[in-house]
Amino acid sequence: MEGNQTWITDITLLGFQVGPALAILLCGLFSVFYTLTLLGNGVIFGIICLDSKLHTPMYFFLSHLAIVDMSYASNNVPKMLANLMNQKRTISFVPCIMQTFLYLAFAVTECLILVVMSYDRYVAICHPLQYTVIMSWRVCTILVLTSWSCGFALSLVHAILLLRLPFCGPRDVNHLFCEILSVLKLACADTWVNQVVIFATCVFVLVGPLSLILVSYMHILGAILKIQTKEGRIKAFSTCSSHLCVVGLFFGIAMVVYMVPDSNQREEQEKMLSLFHSVFNPMLNPLIYSLRNAQLKGALHRALQRKRSMRTVYGLCL
């Protein structure tokens, strides 16, 4: 590095370059979506914890997916909302790197948990008699801990590689938050090592898992077609189709953002895809699972009935 280069201390997130009126409208709209994300995933997590009938491997994994979605949205959305209401739109360098680290950690963890959920459905439908033996609580705990550990370990590798680079300007990031590809553009050195590691991570976290999910669902589809009763086929297909919807949204967007060759024309498209990934996807997940899951809806109905009964008893006591 040359002597006149200095390390940048803050970064400007350009985000949505819109007028004040539209910024207020977007802020209000995204605030509603963020609230629904926390509420929807929080309700799913709470119901699974409180209802003993949902203490099964499938709902154990779903509860962790809800935690990841709430964490993922909370890492990105609040700063984005603050930037919509603030013309300065700056973030210090260290919090920016921390946001990048957590963004990658939660994203990788969600990918791996979705793979674990597909494996759980594969065992449940293709090997129902051995399900309780294969998917024991010990195995489920190991799978979840491995997903979280791999997510944070891979994210730490990217953060370390990012911090070894000199950042001397420019200070503007054309994104809604500190996304790793956008932050790399601020580096004053060659980033080929970072790019190679990002691509390798995409192969490991996106291509490999997606291939496993597709293969497992091919076996699942064959098993569903062999089910004798119509009700059994409908129940199995309903459970699996909700998971496939979530997988398609998450993996599809991630592969477009990180595996399609970059260009200046794609910056705005990537910004919109990242918005969908951060705001809409975590909000849609609880809707997809709750609307297509009879057990989850039944548990919610029982919880509401218990609440009404408690209110009635409390009213009588008074």
Greater model confidence, 275 or 156: 156
In this prediction the pTM is 0.85
The CATH class of the 11-303 domain is mainly alpha
pLDDT value of position 4? 44
pLDDT digits (tens, 9 = 90+) for 119-150: 998 898 888 889 999 999 999 999 999 999 99
Greater model confidence, 87 or 286: 286
Any idea what DSSP says for residue 167? B
Which neighbouring-strand residues pair with 240? none
pLDDT value of position 309? 61
Domain extent listing, the chain: 11-303
pLDDT band with cut points at 50, 70 and 90 for residue 292: low
| Amino acid at residue number 48 | I
CB 197 within 8 A of CB 157: yes
Give the contacts of 224 (CB within 8 A, at least 6 positions apart). 125, 233, 236, 237, 240
pLDDT digits (tens, 9 = 90+) for 230-272: 776 776 676 677 777 778 888 888 888 777 766 555 667 777 7
Judge whether residue 288 has pLDDT over 80.
Answer: no
pLDDT value of position 94? 87
Q: Name the percent of the chain lying above pLDDT 90.
A: 28
CB 126 within 8 A of CB 134: no
Q: Scanning the structure block, which residue is given the tokens 């203490």?
A: 55
Q: How many of the other CB atoms lie within 10 Å of CB of 66?
A: 25
pLDDT value of position 146? 96
| CA pair distance 264, 287, nearest whole angstrom | 35
pLDDT digits (tens, 9 = 90+) for 50-104: 888 888 898 999 999 999 999 999 998 998 888 888 777 888 888 889 999 999 9
Query: Which among 57, 12, 18, 64 has a CA at the least distance from the CA of 41?
Result: 64
| CA pair distance 13, 30, nearest whole angstrom | 17
| CA pair distance 120, 199, nearest whole angstrom | 28
pLDDT value of position 318? 54
Judge whether residue 18 has pLDDT over 90.
Answer: no
pLDDT value of position 2? 44
CB 137 within 8 A of CB 120: no
